[in-house]
Amino acid sequence: RQGVVLTGTGSAVPDTCLDNHQLNQMVVTSDDWITTRTGIRRRHLLAPKNSLTAMATEAAQKAIAMAGIAPQNLDLIILATSTPDDLFGNASQIQARLGATQAVAFDLTAACSGFVFGLVTAAQFMRTGAYQNVLLIGAEVLSRWVDWSDRRTCVLFGDGAGAVVLQASEYDCLLGFQLHTDGTQNQYLKLGFQEQEKLLIDSIRVGQGTYQPIAMNGQEVYRFAVQKVPEVIEKALYRAGLDIEQVDWLLMHQANQRILNAVAERLNLPEEKIISNVANYGNTSAASIPLALDEAVRRGQIKPHDIIALAGFGAGLSWGAAIFEW
């Protein structure tokens, strides 16, 4: 069976930065409240007239350059996002900008689990031998969908993009994974469509409208994450035939430093093994794992053959873990 190795990483964030003190001028909050509860100090925001496509393409180009392959050699592009420029699909625009003429491209929507779900999806195409060179991108412009007058949510989110290149190999670096969904808890985290009835003719009506800003029950999401993420990492480790002591790095969706610390504690992992950049970017949903991965790889923190426990969790509710050898 053909295996999967990770050969390139890249990331891109908008230049504009909003820190906690500036947020304090917009809503009743404080730097102290935000840092104590979340660890977030600043977030990057995409300026108007800029696109997710451009940001994601920049991240992808860096990953492709590190991998040392030509865009024309990509077979598949998966874009994990919940905030596309085009609801019909955004990956095709990135394919065009990259000049990845041979690649089939599609979007994958799984909120903050999107990168882990995308990684596992990509690996299935590769293990069957169908594809050799895959680009996986996580990119979000959450600032489009945040209610900037709601202090319970607006302090949490940011914009960004991260990408990885996966290539076929004899050795398989995806050692184990486990994915879950529980739609009965969907109401705790929503970016939902709200319709208004439109009368077309006679009694024929359709529902039209727009998406409503992100709505979240923070305490329920916190409880869910702290309970389910350690469990799913343990299951993925079991499938990989590894013990927790063999994990070099815990690289979770960067939602909140308190969640990162609580999960590490439940797993008996020392804090030094947590990869975190949530202070600088906030929660960038599907982008957060590849963004943190790229930074850790480029500063030499992650070394060849290190074992990384990746875990995503969020809306759906959805959650999953993948054990990957770098």
Q: Known catalytic residues?
A: 112, 253, 283
Alpha-carbon separation of residue 24 from 33, 141, 156, 169 (angstroms): 10, 22, 13, 50
Residue 152 in the binding site for ligand ACO (CB under 6 A): yes
> For ligand ACO, which residue of 9, 20, 38, 121 counts as binding (CB under 6 A)?
38
Residue 25 in the binding site for ligand ACO (CB under 6 A): no
Residue 57 in the binding site for ligand ACO (CB under 6 A): no
Q: Which residue's CB is nearer to ligand ACO, number 11 or number 257?
A: 257
Q: Whole-number minimum distance, CB 84 to ligand ACO, in Å?
A: 16
Strands (E), 170-306: 174-181, 189-190, 193-201, 204-211, 215-216, 249-252
d(CA 30, CA 86): 35
DSSP letter (8 states) at residue 212: P
Q: Which residue's CB is nearer to ligand ACO, number 52 or number 240?
A: 52
Strands (E), 101-203: 104-108, 133-141, 159-169, 174-181, 189-190, 193-201
Residue 210 in the binding site for ligand ACO (CB under 6 A): no
Q: Whole-number minimum distance, CB 300 to ligand ACO, in Å?
A: 28
Q: Whole-number minimum distance, CB 225 to ligand ACO, in Å?
A: 6
d(CA 81, CA 140): 6
# binding residues, ligand ACO (CB under 6 A): 24
- On whether the CB atoms of residues 3 and 168 are closer than 8 A, the answer is yes
Residue 145 in the binding site for ligand ACO (CB under 6 A): no
Q: Whole-number minimum distance, CB 49 to ligand ACO, in Å?
A: 26
CA-closest candidate to residue 288, choices 279, 65, 146: 279
Which stretches of the chain bind ligand ACO, using CB under 6 A?
29, 33-34, 37-38, 111-112, 151-152, 155, 189, 216, 218-219, 221-222, 253, 255-256, 259, 283, 285, 314-315
